[in-house]
Structure 1
Amino acid sequence: MAPLKLSLACWDYDRVKALEDGRVKPEGIELNFLNLRVEETFFRQLRYKEFDVSELSLSSYVLTLNSDDPPFFALPVFPSRFFRHQSIYVNTKAGITHPSQLAGRPVGTPEFQMTAPVWQRGILEDEYGLAYDAPHYFTGNVEPSNVERKEKIPLNLAESVKIQSIPAGKCLAQMLADGEIVALESATAPSTFGKHPDVGRLFPNAMEVEKDYFKRTGIFPIMHVIAVKRSLLKEHPWVARSLTKAFNESMQYAYDAIHERGALRYILPWMQFHVEETQAAMTSGNNADERWWEDGLTAQNRRTLDKFLEYSYKQGLAKKQWKVEELFVPGSLESFVV
């Protein structure tokens, strides 16, 4: 039987590189790997459903479940994770010394439904007492553009949420530098960070704050999932297990690469020490092969997803507080059992 030809849109992360270059081949599938940045993938998939399989924002994916006929089903594969304390920026002249001081103040965010700001709002509420609806939000392009940025998925938020979109031609990066907004909750760093004297991080010691957060909560925030068209799965249900297994195999290549000691595979001269530091901070430290970034429904991933689903529902995005198992293709979780 000829292999099933499928398109996969995903950025070329180290953990998927073996899928892109063919070292890992999903059983029964001929994969056309499309190396696209996430912004393009998300727009094209959510708006036009162009790809059989794609990387997808966790928040946007959860919002697709609000539909009576959801278009996608996720695999328990998490190509992007990120501690997001480091991605909250402030105008240093605004006098913000504690997150609670953002209440009632103008705060920028590219899209309210973006995964990164959902995490950031939830963490600031849980950890620092800033209610998610306390700031006055301004949404739009982080950098200059002639096209107005809009939410990728229509929202139906509580009246207490104050949101104002900025027009094309304005950008949040410059608004932050000029003091029009006092903070920016984002995924990407604004271009004014590191270049403008009045733009800094809300948490100057972000790495220490994030390590402490992980130590206390066990949460390593999940940003993206791998989503498959439900129409494809109805016709070829075996695809879910085949792809999930292949992503897991590709992850092993990434771990092998960062532990290579014969020569530097990456342009980081102290790579090994960074690996050791990460291992000490995020694993038990008793096993050099222990992973800190794992797919599947491990106890850590379940805890992380439960918390995100709580935030999504509380912030008025998800129509209900979904259970973790409801996010994923039935049977795909078993692919990680050896």
Structure 2
Amino acid sequence: MNRAHHTAPLTVLLGDYPHTRPLKDGTVPVDGADCRYPESAPLPPAFARMVRELAYDICEMPMATYLQAKDAGIPVTLLPAVLVGSTHHRSLTRLPEAPQTGPEDLAGRRVGVRSYGQTTGLWVRGWLREEYGVKSGDVTWVTTEDVHVAQYVNPPCVERSRAERVADLLHSHDVSAAVLGPKAIGGQGAGMVPLVADAESAGLAWTERHATIPANHLLVVRDDVLRTRPDAVLAFYRALKQTLADTAGERDDSPAGRAVAAGWSTSLTACLEIAGRYAVEQSLITKPVDVAETEKQTAFLDK
């Protein structure tokens, strides 16, 4: 391997958050690696580029995309960090003027979601089955975008719409309810009503029951980079851990604030195992990720 390969900058794709900005603006240096931080606004196209083209050395990645990428044999490895996470009982919404519909009423109905592989949808379908007995195949999921992993084929319960936004599906009465991620709730979903009456309490009950918080965005590294440049990956990871520690005071005690973390833990292991089980139930993947093997691959990061 030539020296140029080892001294080349690491390309690291991160979203713009209080806990990533110190890395991106150089406030927290990466001692031992030259990192470059390309921008992608919005973020989702970058996730697709990573799993389809391996476009970055290290990349933020949604939980469902990571699970599907591993299932498809895409050569990426999870780094133990949660960059975005929260509860998602408030993410299942309806129009305020629509007939009052509960989650238990959705069997046989149509529900909008950005993509069947969207992570918020993974978590919503998980608690729908777990708490209300509504299986993913009981609902027709109407999507406005394709999944990030090109190899994946949607199951028969998924229908592609020509609508541009999930909220449009609600306003046109094409669906009875819609799954909206955290950003969408404050944007296109403004004024929508959760189907769960006390969504915050229901979400907290889920976290207490499972001893974890649903992770939305994780972090992955290309396998070849982890293999050939472990010291550079370690340098970046240590800087990330430092940044998360330095910015901890900027996060509140909500599930979203507490979800952000770095390092292998019982919470992260539980989160991955639950997400893997949900993903198998929903035909997003064929078999769960081997969490123990994944942890073994990157255990050196926390030594």
TM range (shorter): 0.7 to 0.9
- 2:82, 2:259 within 8 Å by CA — same for their partners in 1? no
1:80–1:194 distance in 2 versus 1, CA, 3 Å: closer
Give the AA of the match of 1:311.
Answer: Y
Residue in 1 aligned with 2:242?
249
Once residues 140 and 115 of structure 2 are traced to their aligned partners in structure 1, the CA distance between those partners, rounded to angstroms, is 13
Ranges of 4+ aligned residues in structure 1 off by more than 6 Å: none
Give the AA of the match of 1:54.
Answer: C
Alignment RMSD (CA, Å): 2.6
- 1:73, 1:329 within 8 Å by CA — same for their partners in 2? no
Percent sequence identity is 20
Question: Structure 1 residue 174: deviation in Å?
Answer: 1.9
Residue in 1 aligned with 2:172?
178
- 1:75, 1:329 within 8 Å by CA — same for their partners in 2? no
SS for the counterpart of 2:209 is helix
Aligned pair 1:151/2:144, yes or no? no
Match of 2:115 among 104, 111, 114: 111
Once residues 129 and 282 of structure 1 are traced to their aligned partners in structure 2, the CA distance between those partners, rounded to angstroms, is 26
SS for the counterpart of 1:77 is strand
Once residues 193 and 219 of structure 1 are traced to their aligned partners in structure 2, the CA distance between those partners, rounded to angstroms, is 27
SS for the counterpart of 1:210 is helix
1:183–1:282 distance in 2 versus 1, CA, 3 Å: closer
- 2:30, 2:236 within 8 Å by CA — same for their partners in 1? yes
Question: Structure 1 residue 323: deviation in Å?
Answer: 2.1
Aligned pair 1:336/2:263, yes or no? no
Match of 1:122 among 114, 126, 137: 126
Give the AA of the match of 2:224.
Answer: S
Question: Structure 1 residue 251: deviation in Å?
Answer: 0.3
Once residues 309 and 42 of structure 1 are traced to their aligned partners in structure 2, the CA distance between those partners, rounded to angstroms, is 19
Aligned pair 1:41/2:38, yes or no? no
Once residues 71 and 103 of structure 1 are traced to their aligned partners in structure 2, the CA distance between those partners, rounded to angstroms, is 37
- 2:78, 2:221 within 8 Å by CA — same for their partners in 1? yes
Work out which structure has the larger RCO, using CA pairs closer than 8 Å and 6 or more positions apart in sequence.
2
Question: Structure 1 residue 328: deviation in Å?
Answer: 5.0
Question: Structure 1 residue 310: deviation in Å?
Answer: 0.6
Residue in 2 aligned with 1:262?
none
1:118–1:3 distance in 2 versus 1, CA, 3 Å: same
TM-score, normalised to structure 1, is: 0.78
- 2:113, 2:178 within 8 Å by CA — same for their partners in 1? yes
Note the alpha carbon deviations across 1:255-283, whole angstroms, 9 max, x for none.
1445xxxxxxxxxxxxxxxx4xx27x899
- 2:83, 2:217 within 8 Å by CA — same for their partners in 1? yes
1:325–1:38 distance in 2 versus 1, CA, 3 Å: farther
Per mean C-alpha deviation after superposition, the further-off stretch among 202-211 and 73-82 is 202-211
Once residues 108 and 123 of structure 2 are traced to their aligned partners in structure 1, the CA distance between those partners, rounded to angstroms, is 19
SS for the counterpart of 1:79 is strand
Once residues 41 and 82 of structure 1 are traced to their aligned partners in structure 2, the CA distance between those partners, rounded to angstroms, is 22
Residue in 2 aligned with 1:312?
279
Number of residue equivalences: 295
More helix by share: 2
Larger Rg: 1
Note the alpha carbon deviations across 1:15-71, whole angstroms, 9 max, x for none.
222211223223321111224342232132223322111111221122122234x22
Note the alpha carbon deviations across 1:175-205, whole angstroms, 9 max, x for none.
202322011113242655335xxx4222353
